[in-house]
Chain A
Amino acid sequence: AQSVTQLGSHVSVSEGALVLLRCNYSSSVPPYLFWYVQYPNQGLQLLLKYTSAATLVKGINGFEAEFKKSETSFHLTKPSAHMSDAAEYFCAVSFTGTASKLTFGTGTRLQVTL
């Protein structure tokens, strides 16, 4: 069965520092992979997605993620954190033929400090 693991429920970085949020998945078939962001009291917004094209995917707000099949990982990065990046981030995986069902990780709350 497919699953998604996000390492670290809370991550704190200084403004201007590198952001690295980790996501690993288990799958026996090629997945589609997504990162979503949730700001307080809002719904989820798509940051970026991997759908078997380029392994390095660029998203909104300066975020990017790299699909590494050998490591079954899809980590999210941003070179320089901004205070407005403080939010909860969810990694999700989907598989073909599953009516686009997504399996979500448990989320990582990113705190950005001055």
Chain B
Amino acid sequence: GENVEQHPSTLSVQEGDSAVIKCTYSDSASNYFPWYKQELGKRPQLIIDIRSNVGEKKDQRIAVTLNKTAKHFSLHITETQPEDSAVYFCAFNQAGTALIFGKGTTLSVSS
């Protein structure tokens, strides 16, 4: 079946540093790539998404880039803050199919 590899599995940064999480997917027909944030004991929440007709998208301190040729996409968080500490999941799908999620990256931001 379709799958996505997500790296790194854990990431520790100092407050104010940048964090980058990368995902590689298998299905070249995929055209939707969201990122979810899950705090401990909470539900996953959509933080940003990108579609295949766009190479980069920004929303304040977070950005996502997509390279369809290489079949990978990345989440960039700048000026990290302690409240960014959470598990981040990438996902992908194509129209009419369910999202497939990566295994997650645990981000720890220390002050």
| Bound pair (A, B) | no
